[in-house]
Every structure is written in C-alpha cells, then in structure tokens.
Structure 1
C-alpha cells in the first residue's frame, strides 16, 4: 500500500535539493522568517509538515521520529529526488539522522539546527513534569521557550511563539513526538558516520548549545562542523533568520549539488 504523503511546499528551482524538518513547537511555517534569505537559484527546498502539525493536523499517525523519517523519504520519492540534503531543527534533527540511516546513499549532507542528538533528550523529575504539562498548559510552553532562548526575548515574542504552537500542533501529536524524542537512543548507529554534517547552535541556548553539540554530534560524526550564531537561543529560525540562512547556504553550497 502506498504511503500517504504529508503536505509540503517547495521553494526554489536549483539543482541542489534540501528537505527541512521543523521543531516541536510548530510546523513548517517556523521557517517562514528565513525563507526570503535562501538561494532559490542554486537550490530547491522542500518544507514538509509533520503529521499532526500545520496542514497535516488531520492526518493520523504514530507521531514518532521514525514515522517522520519515513514520511520524508515518501516526499523525496514523490519529488523524484534521488539525492538530497536534510536539515532538522531541534526534534527535527533526530528524524533527519534517521533519514540518513534509512537511506545513506541518498543523503548528501546533514544539518542540525539547535539539534537534539541521536541519544534523544531524556526527561526526569521536574523537567518531565514541565514538558509533559506543556501538552495542555500554555504556561508550560512559554516557560520552556523562555528558558531555551536564554531569557533574551520579550513578552510579545514569547506569547506569539506559544500562540502559533497551540494553533499549529494537535495535543496528540505534541505528546507523541515528546514521548518519541525524549526516549529514543540510536547514537551507536551514527557513531563514525562520515557524512558531511553541520551543527548550528545559538549562543544563548543553555540546553542544546555548543557544549551539548561538542559532546554528542561532533564526537560521533567525524566530518561534523560547528557554527555558533550570536544573538539567538534555541530558535534561530525565528530569532536570527538571516544569519541562519547564510550559514545553511554556505555549507550546502559545498555538499548539496
């Protein structure tokens, strides 16, 4: 039986092909602030919505990282993209690594933006309560977003992020993805993988910043590089979109053709 293809949008017409996976708090519109800064002549970018998010809110699903990875390959097949690069933001980076493992001959390069590692992000005690409480409680979402951006953003920005998150994700998907990214661990499968990798972190991200990347991504991927962006925390897509786009395009220009 053919797999239902998740909704996606393509920008650009270049030969370099890139699929970008969004973070836990939203859908593909999270990339909207940076899209005007992308090079559409050299690259074609596909922006899918994960099941339960954005235009895929009504799609049934298991809401796991493995399911996202399978859906990405279905999108690539529909686009007739034999090879491509994958960008994953936060939880999207876990799914992006699974795409690499599932189709190593098709993935030209991998980019993790404020990325969760292949070992997942285990939650215990008060942190588990905070994150699982965020499924139903907007105040928990706000507290998490404020923390991972280093307390640098104002009330209006935080409120907008929470509002978009509530509008663009279903509670079932939000909880399902949380359970998946917080409990997965396949880091031994990626250790030593020589695919070109870029890790982009925000200077104000206290959780998944440069130190976390050095202890995971840069340790496991021998061809990994690190770019730390000033002026942002966990959401450079929304905080510093122009700088993030420049970092991605510079790296992709070397490997995505």
Structure 2
C-alpha cells in the first residue's frame, strides 16, 4: 500500500484515513469528496489487498493484515497520528488499527461499521452473503436489503458494477469470512478514544440497535448519530449530510 496508490483530498493539519467497505474501494468514497473540508483536514483513501489499484496483490485478506497495511500507509504518508473513518468492513479494520496502535489514533468515525466482535448470520443470510463473490445477483440483493429495499435499481446496479470492477473475487470471498467472524472486542473494550458511529435509519443489520449492543458497550465516549433517509450506504445516499456530521465530530478532536 504505497502512497502513489492512495487518493488524497485536502492538505489541512488534521490527517484522516478513510477505510472502505466490502463492496467498495478507495474510489467508492468519490460522492463524498466534493463536500470535504480540505483546508482543515488531509484525507487519504487507501485500498486493501485485492481492491482497486491493489487488485492482484495477494495476502491473507484478514482484518489484522489490512490494519497492518493501513499503518504502513500512514507511515509512507507521514501521518504520525491521525483519525480514522471506516465504512462497513472498514469499521472493523479501523478498530483493529486502533487496537494495534492506540497512541497514533486521534479519533474514529464508523459509518454503518462492522463491530469488533464480527457479525453473526443466520443460515439463510449466510448463504446469500457467501454467494456474493461469484454471483452479481447476490451482491445486488445484499445492497438492496441493506438499504431498506427502497432505492432505484439503476443505483443498485452501479454499486454492483463498481464492486465487480474494483475487487478480486477470491479476495472478496476471503474478506467476508474475515469481517464476519473476526472477534477482538475484548482488546478495545473500555477504550478512552473518542468514537462517533453514524448509522442509516434504513439499515436493517448494522443500525442503531446493533451499535448500542456493541460500540456503546465498549467505548465510553461514543457519540451516536442516526442518519435520516439513509441505509447502509450513506456515502452515496446522503453525502452532504454525512460529510457535515463526521467533520463536525472530527473538528473537535
């Protein structure tokens, strides 16, 4: 994960690293970029092995490996300390970075984040998610479900197309098992770091109830925001409101 592969926005004094989700890539943050305060913050959007500019890069495709790569990228970028913003799977990676290097993390913002305990599935849901690497239709059904079955099919198709273009199938398959089953919550339980969690009102899985049972139990300084008119993909659904919400929080750290 070298700096040449990482999209940058802004040159402010507060470094922020944005970590994408399972169907995303560094480019998946694009709807947010025009609304970010580049005078205050210096954003970097790296990619995991198997995604975007790093397609074809092999590895374990684990949460720990992804976090190690993020720390290596921060070193190359010259970020001695930084805040983290993680969407979905990126929320798990974000917390692993914090667990490995708490002295370097100023604050964290999770956007519909995967908890540090992983995500349990019933058998039917697991079969849907497990089929997503090989089946674009399963990817589409997942995006539709996690946004409340309420958005245009044109957008659903665009998310699937982005995922197909920007990720390796075998990496996507391996990362599912990583983010769903990796549990390190005991390492971060009771942490003093400032954390904001932003969830969409239409996200049926990683919504407010899940966050209160996980993040709110582990992080005493947690601030919770429920984003109106959004499901799991607030980056696409409500980019202006999302940028405003997270930068209001980050600006206090």
* TM-score range normalised by the length of the shorter chain: over 0.9
**How far off is 1:122 after superposition?**
2.4
CA distance in 2, matches of 1:103, 1:12: 24
Q: Contact 1:132/1:175 (CA < 8 Å) preserved in 2?
A: yes
Q: Contact 1:122/1:182 (CA < 8 Å) preserved in 2?
A: yes
Q: Contact 1:51/1:173 (CA < 8 Å) preserved in 2?
A: yes
Alignment of 1:102-141 (within 5 A): 102-141=100-139
CA distance in 1, matches of 2:51, 2:77: 21
CA distance in 1, matches of 2:52, 2:121: 26
Partner of 1:59: 57
Q: Contact 1:13/1:41 (CA < 8 Å) preserved in 2?
A: yes
How many residues were matched structurally? 252
Alignment of 1:1-257 (within 5 A): 5=2, 7-255=5-253
User: 5+ residue gaps in structure 1?
Assistant: none
Q: Contact 1:5/1:71 (CA < 8 Å) preserved in 2?
A: no
TM-score, with length taken from structure 1: 0.96
**How far off is 1:152 after superposition?**
1.5
After superposition, the C-alpha distances for 1:66-110 in whole angstroms (9 at most, x for unaligned) are: 111001100110111110001110000000001001111100001
CA distance in 1, matches of 2:30, 2:222: 26
Q: Secondary structure at the match of 1:167?
A: helix
More divergent stretch after superposition (4-13 vs 170-179)? 4-13
CA distance in 1, matches of 2:143, 2:122: 18
After superposition, the C-alpha distances for 1:154-188 in whole angstroms (9 at most, x for unaligned) are: 11111111111111111011011101011111111
**How far off is 1:124 after superposition?**
3.6
Q: Secondary structure at the match of 2:97?
A: helix
After superposition, the C-alpha distances for 1:172-207 in whole angstroms (9 at most, x for unaligned) are: 110111010111111111110010000000011111
**How far off is 1:49 after superposition?**
1.2
CA distance in 2, matches of 1:81, 1:181: 26
**How far off is 1:233 after superposition?**
0.1
CA distance in 1, matches of 2:180, 2:213: 18
User: 5+ residue gaps in structure 2?
Assistant: none
TM-score, with length taken from structure 2: 0.97
Q: Secondary structure at the match of 2:102?
A: coil
Runs of 4+ in 1 over 3 A off after TM superposition: none
CA distance in 2, matches of 1:69, 1:182: 16
